[in-house]
Chain A
């Protein structure tokens, strides 16, 4: 490169400065604030039964919505990328809706539809089913908000790869199911890992939509982000940051899992450098 040495150094410093200011500093702040009142208080805050139930609900929500979106996302991408059918572009736009609307509105829509005064309110109450202000509503809202992540990762890749390999598989005698499991899915595993990581991070951290449908019932319908907000609003800063650090740790665990999976796949196919 013909770039002068100092230009390069300056650019690197600016980039590093941004990363430090926008990513590193907040993470450090979370842990410093969390530990401000000492380790004892920190442990007490995160082992608090209310914090624990919030953690459990968050993990349950993430597990269910990622699993559901995995199935729906793969199905939708497969349809959109490999087939041409009427309504295809409509489906593609529908998938993007959760990205386009504010999460708060998504939450409100669920209240309107499933709430006690909503469209299905009466029949749901008659059958003793509660969705809004209960975990099912939280899971539904999270699923809605995170729906595009997996599909949006898969569609461009599947489209780029075309249908040649699938056609080859079918002509070699493979059934549709075999073609999907042996050819389509393995070809997209990188995008799938990314989609899962993104969807998981978002479903653990989702605030807006969940806040509307949750009702903030402590110990029952609070997820970790909602619990952090409540503690913060009660001026219980150290406890708020302690619980926030839990969320941060969950994110770190996700990233470590992703790295491990990437490493494993790369060992299997050492020839294919990422990306």
Chain B
């Protein structure tokens, strides 16, 4: 079901966490709320869930499927929520954790025990933890715990699924696996989902649409391709991965700031036109899918970082035969130019 949050405003003791944010998520869409810590993404999620309340005098509205739920208590909203630290009930088995939402229903709506067991077992099959059903959370790995948390949230057949940094506490490999698994799961059960993360790679990989937040506002919203290739602000460029900053010799007195990603730079032995920058190779890291070359430019202005990072393919690296300490020329193939903060 579609989520429509309008004019969400929240202030924590004089700190504006959300400033009049409006967010729409279409039915069945999986979006990522991406931003640094303190950008307001988790607060927005908690307000949609009903765990936090927006400012009293704000015009905040939260609509799910067209119904205003902002006056409803969290327990009535039927929102699936997955916490960063799992928040599994530590004294209950995996089975009972998943069954919890079904057991606390009002007596009249409660399923008969046989149906309940059937339903919980189906969910345990979905997360491939049937064999672990009588184990306790402390006996599971982090990845398994988060899968249980997801099954527990899905058990109540939520109208929307909210995930608060769900993979933040896991190590890199498990994270990668769970991301793919979540993507597949979402194709099977297309419940409207909002994933909060500060990891741009995760957002770009998992989500249909990425919403980038900064200082309590939405900076940009778009498909992963759009935000990555057509960032609307310097913040978005710098947040979505490594980037090199150059100062354009701008026309008139306006300063142009030029952002170039490491893979958009080329290294030449001889400057073929005037735009190349001379730099000395500081370090070469060739273990990995790409070769990372760290250079130090010969001249740099105050604002510019003297370091330049370039990513080359192994083929390019081999044909150039680069060595540390050499002076070479760096040229941009592509760039994003911002004048006074915007393009």
Contact = CB atoms under 8 A, between A and B. Distances in A.
Interface of A: 164-165, 167-175, 178, 182-183, 186-187, 189, 269, 271-272
A271 B49 CA distance: 33
A187 B104 contact: no
B156 interface: yes
Q: How many interface residues does chain B have, given as a range?
A: 20 to 34
A165 B104 contact: no
B136 A269 contact: yes
Contact of A186 (B91, B104, B155): B91
B152 interface: yes
Contact of B85 (A164, A170, A187, A189): A164
A178 B104 contact: yes
B75 A183 contact: no
Contact of B74 (A171, A178, A183): A171
B51 A169 contact: no
A271 B81 contact: no
B157 to A, nearest CB: 11
B100 A172 contact: yes
B83 interface: yes
B104 A168 contact: no
Interface in B68-113: 73-81, 83, 85, 87-91, 100-101, 104-105
Given A182-B104, A272-B138, A172 B91 contact: no
Given A167-B51, A174-B104, A182-B89, 6 more contacts: A164-B85, A171-B75, A172-B155, A173-B101, A183-B89, A272-B136
Interface string B45-85: 00001110000000000000000000001111111110101
Contact of A170 (B74, B90, B138, B153): B74
Given A271-B136, A272-B136, A172 B104 contact: yes
Contact of A187 (B81, B83, B91, B101): B91
10 contacts: A168-B152, A171-B51, A172-B101, A173-B78, A173-B104, A175-B104, A187-B89, A187-B90, A189-B91, A272-B136
